[in-house]
Amino acid sequence: MIFFNQSTGQSINLKILGENDEKTSVIDSVNYSKQFKDYASLRIQVENLRRKLTKHGFIDTAIESIKKQNDSLFEAKLILGNKVNRIRIYFNSNIEETYSNLLDYSANKDYIEIAIFELESYLNIINSKIIEQGDPFSSIQLVNLTKLEPDLISAELKVNSNEKRRLDNIIIKGYENFPKSYLKHFLKLKTDKSFNINAVKRKVNLLNDLRFANKIKDPEVLFTQDSTTLYIYVEKTKTNNFDGFLGFGTNEDTNKIEFDGYLDLRLINNLNYGETLNLFYKSDELDQQTFKVETDLPYLFSTPIGLQVGLKIFRKDSTFLNTDQYAKINYQINAQHKISIGITSTNSTNLLENDTNVLNNYTSSFFTVQYNYIKTQSLDPLFPVNFWFNFSSGYGNRDNNLGSQKQSFFTLDTYKIFNLNNKNSIYTRLNGATVTSSNYLDNELFRFGGINSIRGFEENSLVANLYSVLNTEYRYRLSNTLYVHSVFDAAYFENKIDDSKEKLFGFGFGLGLITNAGLFRLNYSSGKTENTSFKLSNSKVHLSLTATF
C-alpha cells in the first residue's frame, strides 16, 4: 500500500532549452508550467509553448526533441530561429471591393504592415466586423506566407465567407405577452435586417432597464438553411408600487405634534402594453392638499410616439384652488433618451371674498418642450437608477381681469450617484424652477420644501418664483438591503411679491431598508435659514414605504 501511494503521487518535471543560451533565456521569459502528473499533459505544455513563441515572432519554432533524463525529469529542446518583428498583409481585389470599409490601410498601397504581436488581435477585429455585417459563419486566414527580410514576412488575407444572414423571426419565451412595440422601438430589434449577434446581445441587455421585464438568460439563435430565428428569454416582474410617507414635527405656535404625509400609487404594464397609471395625493400640516392623476401610453399604434395626459388639483386651505390639465406627445429616441412636446392649461380660483393684485382668478396656457435621460444600474436593488436628467420649459400667456401677461417657465430635476466602491457612494440631486413675468400672483408661484425637496422644512411651506435645491447624501451600504446616509441640503429662492431672497440649509441623517413589504426609509433632519440657528424643536422625522406588488 505504501508503494502504491508513493507511485501514484509522483510527478514529473520539465526543463526546456533553446539552441543556445540566448534562446533559452527567451524561453524562460515566457511563463510555462514545469511540473506535471503525466507525460501527456507535459507534451501539451510543450506544444502550447511553441504556439506562444510563434505569436511572439519566432515563427519557425520547432520541437526538436523531448527526452527522458531520469524517472522525474524530461528535457525538451526547441529550435526558435530568427525573430520576425513585422508582417505585411496584402488584400486581393475581391476583398477590397467587399470589405473596403472594414480594412484600415493606405489608399496608395494594397497592404497594411503591423507588428507581429498585434497580428492576432487585428485579425479578430477584422473577423468581428465581418460578422457584424451579417455573416456569423465567416472565417479568415493568412495564406502564401513569404519571408521578405530577416525580420519581415508577408501574407495574403483570405476571407472564407458564406451567404449573409438576415433576422427572420423573433420569438419571446417566458413572457409571451411582452409588448411587441418594445421590441421594435425600445430594443431596436427588427426583422429583415442583417443579423449581428453582438448587436443583438447588447440590445437584449436593455431589457434590464425596463421596470416590468427582465432578461432570464442570453438570447439563442436557431439557424436553418433558409431562415434565422432569435429566441429571447424574458420574465415579467412586479412593477406596481405604492409609496407613502408619514411626517411629524412640533408646531412652534401650539407646541403640539402635527402630522403630514402623502400616497403615491403607480400601476405599470397591467394591460401588457407598457402603460403607466399614476395616482397621487398629499396633505400637509399647512392645510394644503394635492391630487394628481396621470397616464402614460407609450408606442401608440406600434410607433415610437407616445401620449401622456394628466390632471392636477392643488388647494391652499381656503385661499385658492388651482386645476392643471396637460397633454404631451412623447418620442422615445432610444432606451435612455426621450423628448416631448405638449400643452398645459391652468385655471385658478380665488377662494377669498375679494381679489387683490397678488391673489386673483386667472387662466393660463403654455406650450411645453421636455427632454429626459435615464441611466440605470439594474443589478442594484437599493439604487436602481444611477443618473436622471429631466428638463422642461414652457411659453404662454396668463389672463385675468388685469389683462394678458406673456410668461415662460423652466424646470430642472437631475441626480447622479457616484459609486466610490461596493459600499460607499455619494448621491447628489439638483432641483429647481423659475417663472418669468412682469408681475406675479401668489397662486401661480412654486411651492417646495419637505422630504422630496429641502429636508428639515415643512411640506410646501416655501413659496418662490425662482428656487434651486441641492440635495447631497453620503451613503454607506451595510448590506445589499440596508444603507445609512447623511443629509446635507442647501437651497436658494426668490419671491418677488414680497421682495425676499433666502438661503436655506438642512442637516440630518437617514436609513433605507428593503423589507418584505418594500423599501422603508427614515429621515431625521433639521432646517435653518441663513441668519438663524438650529433648533431641535424644528426637526422633522419622515417615514416612507415603497411597496411593490
For residue range 123-147, list pLDDT tens digits in order.
Answer: 888 887 777 777 777 778 888 888 8
Give the domain 2-79 fold: Ubiquitin-like (UB roll) (3.10.20)
For residue range 398-411, list pLDDT tens digits in order.
Answer: 999 888 999 999 99
Give the domain 241-548 fold: Porin (2.40.160)
Exposure string for 178-204, b = 16+ CB within 10 A, e = fewer: bbebbbbbbbebeeeeebbeeebeebb
Asked: is 86-160 a CATH 2.60.40.10 domain? The reply is no
Looking up cell 495574403 gives 156
For residue range 369-405, list pLDDT tens digits in order.
Answer: 999 999 998 778 889 899 999 999 999 999 998 889 9
What is the Cα gyration radius of the chain? 34
For residue range 459-502, list pLDDT tens digits in order.
Answer: 888 999 999 999 999 999 999 899 999 999 999 999 999 999 99
Identify the pLDDT of residue 541.
84
How many residues belong to the chain? Answer: 549
Rounded to the nearest integer, the mean pLDDT of the chain is 87
Whole-Å CA distances, 546 to 473, 521, 522, 528? 19, 8, 12, 29
What is the rounded distance in angstroms from the CA atom of residue 445 to the CA atom of residue 331? 30
Identify the pLDDT of residue 110.
74
% helix / strand / coil in the chain, to the nearest 5?
Answer: 15, 55, 30
HEC letters along 292-360: EEEEEECCHHHCCEEEEEEEEEEEECCCEEEEEEEEEEEEECCCCEEEEEEEEEEEEEECCCCCCCCCC
Identify the pLDDT of residue 5.
43
Identify the pLDDT of residue 225.
82
Contact between 49 and 30 (Cβ < 8 Å): yes
Query: Would 86-160 and 241-548 be classified into the same CATH topology?
Result: no
Contact between 198 and 129 (Cβ < 8 Å): no
Confidence of residue 236 (pLDDT cuts 50, 70, 90): very high
Where exactly are the structural domains of the chain?
2-79, 86-160, 169-236, 241-548
